[in-house]
Structure 1
Amino acid sequence: MRQGKLTNAKLRELVIDNIEPRNAETVVGAGVGEDCCAVMTDDLCVVSTDPITAGGKQTGVLAIHINANDIAAAGAKPIAALVTLMIPPTAEEEQIRTLMNELAHTARPLGIDIIGGHTEVTDSVTRMVVSVTMIGKPVVKGKMFKTADVLPGDDLIMTKYAGLEGTAIIGSDFAGELGLTAGEQEQLSKIKESLSVVRDGEIAAKIEGVHAMHDITEGGILGAVCEMCEASGTGARINLSAVPVLPLTKKICRYYGLDVYGLISSGSMMIAAKDGNQVVKEMRANGVPAAVIGKAGEEGVYDLSAGSKREITPYPADELYKVLERGL
């Protein structure tokens, strides 16, 4: 493809025609020549942004989910997104169309309008890079949750299962090598549909005694616990044996020699709350699996699952990269 901006005709054909604003909050959406967009809100405006550079075949899906999940962890509902596409000259038009369909298909059931962004063909990248800025409004009017608000004595609750995003990426990109059975392929499809914590965040935001939330992304469980503790100046005592893991994730981790607790886990949320059992009860009543996996303390992060006190530190890089770098 020719470097530089897409022509107006291609911008309309490949990008804008693939999105359709539906929310009442969308005042000005994506359009040729429109450099700004606008949403109407009568509350706090919660904003987050993240790029996807290692999403493999799941790039469009993950680009929406990881940013919507950040908004959800702040106790807000995502309503609108800005999408920036950095496109290598070697890309085909069909790749752009497919990516936009993925983005729109993932955003739609979450109630998110793609309202604008930027597209550019450039040799500064060798593969498609997608960056999303997500806008949200609080579930409870005027209330926002911060990672730093964990209190000593809080129970630490995890929703769903460890390593969901890593399983989705590796399972999709290396299905042939893994020799997945029909049953495992079906489980992989369900995992791909469970990478959102928007529902988890909406439920948790309404529970009395919930103090903080954090979506579990790069670095997995180990990274998420350490990040929450560092942000809040607390410590934690974790029982890693209580962390739920799906059979397919275990198989993938055994095959590639990965530590599931350090594997990227979008689709799971860490919640700090006064009464973890109450949070688990509410989550399960709404169809969201959850488990208490530990408690916040005064200092240090330790795993107590082996009957001894073992200090936890996050890995320098997510376990996912061991597989992606091997596949290059």
Structure 2
Amino acid sequence: MGVDFPKFGKVGKLFFDNIIYPKLGLKRDEVLVGPNYGCDNAVIKINERQVMILTSDPLSIIPALGLEDSAWLTVHLLASDLATSGIPPMYAVLDFNLPVQITREEFEIYWDAFHRECEKLGIAIVGGHTGKFFGIDYTIVGGGTFISIGDIDKYLSSNMAKPGDRIVITKGSAIATTGILARVFPETIEKNFGSDFLKEAQSYFKKFSVVEDALTAVKIGVRADGVSAMHDATEGGVLGGIYEMAIASKCGVHVFKDKIPVSETTKKICQLFEIDPYVSLSEGTLIIAVKEEKVFDLLKILSENGIESTEVGYFEEASYGLWIENPDGTRESLVYPESDPYWNAYINAINKGWR
């Protein structure tokens, strides 16, 4: 069976299931969570009490964001995935394959910012590789792995949601879409909506992290005592992230579309770029599966820490299916978007000469 390789962004479920998943090297019993669709982290049993949790992601230098903000973003995207385990990130291994045109001074600025953010989050950089190579260009300049050690009875994985769990999300839809487009195309956005609007949209950049969201959420308890699973909404947006969590957990799901927050700022930017905010890039949105009796506690502790959150649906038995309920009460199947609309919107804006 032919499986399409995407033009942009991460591969879809069909590609993963047919090309990657059947060939994973040697099977080892201590691997508790390996490569699985919708899972943010790997989990390896160390002994009867402890596990090692790992996640990998690209290292980025995005010229439109600048060196320091690119470093901040890279650290927090990796740390956010690891924090969905409920265990704080501890260690980093980094492989920098840099473009030949980057200067020592530029990399030093980037590295200083990278170090400072790791230090703030309690992450020790313990190894890696750094070099400049022909054929490498911005924005992806390598890959990184973040690692933690945690209690075997207290870590979470995005495949641990259970039927009956409620779904709570933080912040809202298309957080990253809003923040990145406002940084990359400021002239266009300011021309359409004004300078105050531009500043507000650009402020979304610092909302991209879910480290604080995740580590705050687990304070109410984990697994049977509170939070069952967490997942960072990235490509595919909020609906894509909920779909991934349901598939990973072998659950059905019911989502109330009108309960998913979409800010006025996000609405206007998505209309301008012709993007569906519910299925577009949303780093900064944490999807949380939580026991029904702990929903109030979860919403309360997040609010007390200045984190907006909303209950948007619930998980069911797998036989229930995957459903979105529209504002008029009709239902439609929840399906994973073939591609995140952000990528086409970004390319189209470049081709139009938007700045």
2:164/2:316 contact within 8 Å kept? yes
- Matches of 1:137 and 1:204, distance apart in 2: 19
- Matches of 1:96 and 1:246, distance apart in 2: 36
Aligned positions of 1:47-86 closer than 5 A = 47-52=54-59, 57=65, 58-86=69-97
User: 1:281: which partner in 2?
Assistant: 300
User: 2:121: which partner in 1?
Assistant: 110
- Matches of 2:281 and 2:147, distance apart in 1: 23
| AA partner of residue 147 (structure 2) | I
Residues 20-41 of structure 1: CA distance to partner in whole angstroms, max 9, x if unpaired? Answer: xxxxxxxxxxxxxxxxxxxxxx
1:156/1:271 contact within 8 Å kept? yes
TM-score when scaled to structure 1? 0.80
TM-align CA RMSD: 2.2
Of residues 194, 198, 201, the one that matches 1:181 is 194
User: 1:246: which partner in 2?
Assistant: 263
Of residues 257, 274, 278, the one that matches 1:257 is 274
- Matches of 1:98 and 1:317, distance apart in 2: 34
- Matches of 2:276 and 2:61, distance apart in 1: 19
State whether structure 2 residue 282 is matched by structure 1 residue 270: no
User: 2:148: which partner in 1?
Assistant: 136
User: 1:28: which partner in 2?
Assistant: none
Aligned with 2:272: secondary structure? helix
State whether structure 2 residue 27 is matched by structure 1 residue 46: no
Residues 148-204 of structure 1: CA distance to partner in whole angstroms, max 9, x if unpaired? Answer: 111111100001121112222111111111116342343245322222211111122
Task: Say if 1:189 and 1:130 are closer, same or farther in 2 by CA, change over 3 A.
Answer: farther
Aligned with 2:337: secondary structure? coil
- Matches of 2:194 and 2:109, distance apart in 1: 27
Residue 53 (structure 1) shift? 5.7
Aligned with 1:147: secondary structure? coil
Aligned with 1:310: secondary structure? strand
Runs of 4+ in 1 over 6 A off after TM superposition: none
Of residues 294, 297, 304, the one that matches 2:325 is 304
- Matches of 1:248 and 1:95, distance apart in 2: 33
Residue 278 (structure 1) shift? 2.8
Aligned with 1:146: secondary structure? coil
2:165/2:291 contact within 8 Å kept? yes
Aligned with 1:206: secondary structure? helix
- Matches of 1:80 and 1:190, distance apart in 2: 29
- Matches of 1:79 and 1:222, distance apart in 2: 30
Which is further off, 212-221 or 87-96? 87-96
- Matches of 1:80 and 1:282, distance apart in 2: 27
Of residues 226, 236, 245, the one that matches 2:253 is 236
User: 1:320: which partner in 2?
Assistant: 342
- Matches of 1:99 and 1:318, distance apart in 2: 28
Aligned positions of 1:122-161 closer than 5 A = 122-128=133-139, 129-138=141-150, 142-161=153-172
Aligned with 1:193: secondary structure? helix
Task: Say if 1:284 and 1:73 are closer, same or farther in 2 by CA, change over 3 A.
Answer: same
2:180/2:202 contact within 8 Å kept? no
| AA partner of residue 282 (structure 1) | I
1:204/1:210 contact within 8 Å kept? yes
| AA partner of residue 338 (structure 2) | P
Residue 122 (structure 1) shift? 1.4
Residue 248 (structure 1) shift? 2.1
Residue 286 (structure 1) shift? 2.1
Structure 2: segments with no counterpart, 5+ residues: 1-48
Which is further off, 191-200 or 265-274? 191-200
- Matches of 1:203 and 1:109, distance apart in 2: 16
Structure 1: segments with no counterpart, 5+ residues: 1-41
| AA partner of residue 51 (structure 2) | L
User: 1:32: which partner in 2?
Assistant: none
- Matches of 2:248 and 2:309, distance apart in 1: 23
Residue 304 (structure 1) shift? 0.6
1:263/1:318 contact within 8 Å kept? yes
- Matches of 2:269 and 2:142, distance apart in 1: 26
Task: Say if 1:143 and 1:200 are closer, same or farther in 2 by CA, change over 3 A.
Answer: same
Residue 240 (structure 1) shift? 1.6
- Matches of 1:44 and 1:200, distance apart in 2: 22
State whether structure 2 residue 131 is matched by structure 1 residue 120: yes
